[in-house]
């Protein structure tokens, strides 16, 4: 089998070389005849004697350059502008080699200089024309439209739309036929892209007319950088037209890898999409490139994305630390496939294990620590307050102390908006963790910074996956309260800004990410139902009441806390005063005793003493509930 394949390849390569030799010979002969007015008899000496030597030299030089630059190896059916540009350069190089040999080495190969120029131009035309003709024939064959092809309209006549059209036109079975584009740029209206017309703006009138005239069955949004409000507007129009709508990935999802295989359903992330994050690449690169990076909680949603983002900046080594052995296994497998040459060290470890943490720091000496390990579920931590303190406070202190002891350069704590005016043990524990690193940073050469942000869309256990599961099961979709609202950010956006904050930070700073405007959870639920169901009224929304520790709205700073700007527009720095070290140390000692004793009431009292703005519920208290209510989504508009 292998021998047969090699024989076929050898025969094909030989035919390609022979075809080029013929084309170059024709170009040489044509240039020579043009120089002497098309009369072979007019070729006088010494050129009559020289031309066979010149032709032989040309063929040898050209064959060597074409082989060296791989022009005998291409598949001509895929010829494009880069291939033709490479053809021109390589042909010119072969001609230059002929000139050097003829003028300075083999004088018997000399010809009039105009022959060299004419031969070069004719060779490019013939060789390039043959390649383009083969591709053209193939494109014509594929242009035969299937009578059963689905009519597709593309919204967005930019690079992403053209790339999508090209992918669809190259499909062998032509199941999809693009009947037109719509685009908001008036300069593109009535223009043609690969023989497909831009019909007009992406408004309701144009979309309605296009859908009716062309029997459109699928509308694809090729708007990778459009804001979520514009995506939502177009999706609503398509719903009114009863036409299926899909989208291509956003810039953050690597649209450069595009193709029809990446088209997917419109997701809630598209409708809430914000402007893409622009990183100061040089600054983040200085933080990460060539250094050992430790990511705690690496198998979690935030931790794993921090690892993926950090890999872009070529760290020397990445330490993947998590107590979730199964999650760590899958993360390492994914990363080794995506980054085969990367140095990855998976570490199964509990961050409260001081000896194990010390051993890891002693052996690997990480220069940057991205501390994402935490217990984060508010309701679960209300029922397990001692575990929240042990992991979020004392685990953070253990890792922070090791960073100080072993000379880490930068320590970044992932914090939360729930640390502001906390009403839950989880929020309180994250505020105390901020205090821990602020106090540690005051006496250390290590830069300690914290980064506060709100909810991230699609993270493990968050509201979006929960709603998806409830909708898939036919409902009801459960919302705690009609007025509850949260800040939202996508996982890639949040992690990129965490890296930016880590690069910006000086000692003991708490950064706050620009989360935009808060989103009502009821509106989020209705959007997801509308996206997922042909008949949204089939899915009911049920209010269950706020659970212990939950708030109607989150904040990013206290009213008394000021903030300043940074060089990055989406990263703010909070002016938050640290707690005196003696007071914090005493409080942590008492908290540790209460946690060991499992004394939940005492633990909550101590937290409120240390965090005066906290308002925790106590065992005898219960939050006010909203009566359970189930209604169709449309009735709650």
- What are residue 317's DSSP bridge partners? 292
Hey, what long-range contacts does 88-95 have (CB within 8 A, 24 or more apart)?
88/124, 88/128, 90/65, 90/66, 91/62, 91/120, 91/123, 91/124, 91/127, 92/120, 93/65, 93/69, 94/58, 94/61, 94/62, 94/64, 94/65, 94/66, 95/58, 95/61, 95/62, 95/119, 95/120, 95/123
Length of the chain: 637
SS (H, E, C) 256-309: HHCCHHHCEECCHHHHCCCCCCCCCHHHHHHHHCCCEEEEECCCCHHHHHHHHH
In the chain, % of residues over pLDDT 70? 75
Q: Are 118 and 31 in contact (CB under 8 A)?
A: yes
Query: Rounded to whole angstroms, how far apart are CA atoms 126 and 23?
Result: 6
What pLDDT, on a 0 to 100 scale, did the predictor assign at position 269?
A: 57
Query: Among the residues of 445-580, which ranges form H helices?
Result: 463-472, 491-504, 521-532
Read off the pLDDT of each residue in 467-487 and give the average, rounded to a whole number.
Answer: 78
Q: Are 495 and 309 in contact (CB under 8 A)?
A: yes
Show the beta-strand stretches assigned E in 397-538: 410-414, 447-452, 455-457, 477-479, 485-486, 488-490, 509-513, 519-520
3-class state of residue 478 by DSSP: strand
pLDDT of residue 458: 56
Number of CB atoms found within 10 A of residue 73's CB: 11
Angle at 108 between CA 103 and CA 111, to 5 degrees: 60
> What's the pLDDT score for residue 376?
85
Please check the confidence at residue 565 and state whether its pLDDT lies above 80.
Answer: no
Task: Give how far Cα 623 sits from Cα of 180, 478, 544, 546, Å.
Answer: 56, 17, 12, 7
Confidence of residue 172 (pLDDT cuts 50, 70, 90): low
196, β-bridge pairs: 193
| Cα 591 from Cα 551, distance rounded (Å) | 24
Find, among 475, 472, 477, the residue nearest to 532 by Cα: 472
Q: How far apart are CA 411 and CA 516, in angstroms?
A: 26
What is the per-residue pLDDT for 429?
93
pLDDT tens by residue, 194-208: 778 899 998 989 999
Q: Mean pLDDT across the stretch 51-76?
A: 78
pLDDT tens digits along 585-599: 999 999 999 999 989
Whether residue 384 contacts residue 474, with contact meaning beta carbons closer than 8 Å, is answered with: no
* C-beta separation of 604 from 613 below 8 A: no
- Cα 564 to Cα 264: distance, rounded to the nearest angstrom: 40
Query: Which of the 8 DSSP states describes residue 395?
Result: I
- pLDDT tier at 275, thresholds 50, 70, 90: low
Predicted pLDDT at 351: 95
Nearest C-alpha neighbor of 437 from the set 415, 406, 407 = 415
- Three-state SS at 505: coil
* Model confidence pLDDT, tens digit, residues 228-246: 778 888 888 888 888 888 8
Average pLDDT over residues 296-300: 93
**CA distances, 280 to each of 252, 303, 364, 566, 567 (Å):** 16, 21, 28, 12, 9
> DSSP of 181-199, one letter per residue?
EE-S-GGGTT-EETTEEB-
Q: Whole-angstrom Cα distance, residue 39 to residue 32? A: 9
Q: How confident is the model at residue 261 (pLDDT cuts 50, 70, 90)?
A: very low
Ordered by where they begin, the domains of the chain are: 2-142 (no CATH), 150-271 (3.40.50.720), 281-610 (3.40.50.720)
CA-to-CA separations, 443 to 437, 446, 448, 577, in angstroms, rounded:
10, 9, 11, 15
pLDDT for the residue 257: 43
Report the pLDDT averaged over residues 319-324: 95
* Per-residue confidence (pLDDT) for residue 474, from 0 to 100: 78
Given this model, what pLDDT does residue 416 score? 83
**In 542-617, where does DSSP find H-type helix?**
581-597, 600-610
Which pLDDT band holds residue 259 (cuts at 50, 70, 90)? Answer: very low
Residue 544's pLDDT is 78
Position 109 scores a pLDDT of: 61
CA dist., res. 384 & res. 527, Å (int): 33
| pLDDT value, residue 413 | 92
Please report how many Cα atoms fall inside a 13 Å half-sphere around the Cα of residue 424, on the Cβ side: 27
Task: List pLDDT tens digits, range 515-564.
Answer: 667 777 787 787 777 766 667 777 788 887 777 666 666 665 545 455 66
What is the average pLDDT score of the chain?
A: 79
Rounded Cα–Cα distance for residues 17 and 130 (Å): 13
Segment among 112-116, 179-183, 461-465 with least mean pLDDT: 461-465
Please provide the DSSP assignment of 541-557 as one string: EEE--PPTT--SS--SS
Q: What's the confidence (pLDDT) of residue 346?
A: 95
Look at residues 275, 324, 280, 277 and name the one whose alpha carbon lies nearest to residue 303.
324
Give the 3-state secondary structure of residue 146.
coil
Give the residue with greater pLDDT, 483 vs 623: 483
According to DSSP, the residues that pair with 112 across neighbouring strands are none
Is the pLDDT score of 326 beyond 90?
Answer: yes
The answer to whether the beta carbons of residues 546 and 480 sit under 8 Å apart is yes
DSSP class of residue 628 equals: P
Question: pLDDT at position 333, please?
Answer: 93
Q: Which of 205-209, 344-348, 510-514, 612-616 has the highest mean pLDDT?
A: 344-348
Question: Is-contact 54 31, C-beta < 8 A?
Answer: no
Q: Is the pLDDT of residue 367 over 90?
A: yes
pLDDT number for residue 619: 61
Lowest mean pLDDT among 56-65, 344-353, 622-631: 622-631
366 has pLDDT over 90:
yes
Other beta carbons within 10 Å of 192: 11
- 571-600 mean pLDDT: 86
8 Å CB contact between 255 and 192: no
Q: Under a CB-based contact definition with an 8 Å cutoff, are residues 208 and 179 in contact? A: no
**What is the band of 251 on the pLDDT scale with cuts at 50, 70, 90?**
very low
Q: Which residues of 452-476 are buried (b: 16+ CB within 10 A; e: fewer)?
A: bbbbbbbbeebbbeebbebbeeebb
- Are the C-beta atoms of 406 and 624 separated by less than 8 Å? no
- Looking at residues 362-391, what average pLDDT do you find? 92
More confident residue, 1 or 331: 331
Buried b vs exposed e over 339-368: b needs ≥16 C-beta within 10 Å?
beeeebebbebbbbebebbeebbeebebbb
Least confident of 14-28, 156-170, 180-194, 549-563: 549-563
Least confident of 269-278, 456-465, 521-530: 269-278
């Amino acid at each position: 089998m292998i021998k047969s394949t090699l024989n076929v390849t050898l025969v094909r390569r030989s035919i390609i070389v022979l075809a080029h030799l013929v084309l170059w010979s024709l170009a040489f002969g044509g240039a020579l005849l043009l120089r002497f007015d098309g009369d072979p008899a007019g070729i006088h000496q010494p050129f009559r004697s020289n031309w066979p030597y010149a032709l032989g030299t040309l063929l040898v030089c050209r064959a060597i350059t074409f082989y060296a630059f791989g022009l005998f190896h291409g598949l001509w059916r895929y010829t494009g502008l880069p291939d033709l540009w490479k053809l021109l350069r390589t042909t010119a190089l072969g001609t230059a080699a002929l000139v050097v040999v003829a003028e300075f080495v083999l004088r018997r190969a000399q010809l009039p200089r105009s022959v060299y120029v004419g031969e070069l131009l004719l060779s490019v035309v013939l060789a390039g024309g043959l390649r383009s003709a083969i591709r053209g024939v193939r494109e014509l064959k594929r242009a035969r439209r299937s009578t059963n092809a689905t009519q597709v309209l593309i919204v967005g006549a930019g690079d992403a739309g053209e790339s999508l059209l090209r992918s669809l036109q190259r499909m062998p079975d032509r199941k999809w036929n693009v009947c037109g584009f719509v685009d908001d740029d008036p300069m593109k209206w009535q223009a043609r892209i690969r023989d497909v017309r831009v019909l007009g703006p992406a408004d309701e009138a144009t979309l309605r007319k296009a859908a009716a005239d062309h029997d459109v069955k699928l509308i694809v949004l090729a708007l990778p950088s459009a804001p979520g409000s514009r995506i939502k507007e177009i999706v609503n129009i398509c719903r009114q037209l009863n036409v299926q709508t899909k989208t291509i990935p956003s810039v953050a999802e690597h649209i450069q890898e595009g193709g029809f295989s990446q088209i997917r359903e419109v997701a809630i992330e598209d409708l809430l999409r914000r402007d893409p994050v622009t990183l100061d690449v040089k600054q983040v690169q200085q933080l990460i490139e060539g250094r050992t990076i430790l990511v705690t909680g690496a198998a979690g949603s935030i931790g794993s994305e921090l690892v993926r983002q950090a890999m872009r900046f070529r760290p020397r080594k990445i330490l993947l630390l998590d107590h979730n052995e199964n999650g760590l296994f899958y993360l390492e497998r994914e990363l080794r496939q995506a980054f085969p040459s990367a140095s990855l060290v998976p570490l199964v470890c509990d961050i409260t294990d001081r000896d194990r943490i010390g051993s890891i720091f002693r052996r690997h000496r990480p220069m940057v620590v991205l501390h994402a390990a935490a217990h984060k579920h508010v309701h679960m931590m209300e029922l397990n307050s001692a575990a929240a303190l042990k992991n979020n406070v004392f685990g953070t202190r253990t890792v922070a102390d090791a960073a100080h002891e072993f000379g880490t350069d930068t320590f970044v704590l992932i914090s939360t908006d729930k640390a502001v005016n906390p009403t839950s043990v989880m929020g309180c524990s994250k505020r105390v963790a901020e205090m821990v690193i602020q106090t540690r940073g005051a006496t250390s050469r290590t830069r300690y910074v914290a980064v506060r942000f709100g909810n991230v869309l699609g993270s493990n256990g968050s509201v979006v996956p929960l709603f998806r599961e409830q909708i898939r099961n036919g409902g009801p979709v459960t919302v705690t309260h009609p007025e509850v609202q949260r800040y939202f950010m996508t996982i890639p956006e949040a992690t990129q800004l965490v890296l930016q904050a880590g690069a910006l930070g000086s000692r003991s700073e708490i950064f706050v990410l620009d989360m935009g405007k808060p989103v009502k959870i009821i509106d989020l639920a209705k959007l997801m139902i509308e996206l997922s169901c042909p008949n949204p009224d089939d899915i009911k929304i049920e209010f269950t009441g706020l659970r212990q520790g939950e708030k109607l709205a989150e904040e990013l700073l206290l009213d008394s806390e000021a903030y300043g700007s940074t060089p990055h527009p989406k990263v703010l720095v909070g002016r938050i005063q640290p707690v005196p070290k003696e007071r914090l140390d005493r409080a942590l000692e008492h908290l540790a005793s209460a946690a060991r004793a499992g004394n939940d009431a005492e633990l909550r009292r101590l937290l409120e003493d240390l965090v005066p703005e906290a308002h925790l519920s106590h065992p005898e208290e219960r939050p006010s509930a909203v009566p359970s209510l189930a209604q169709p989504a449309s009735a709650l508009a």
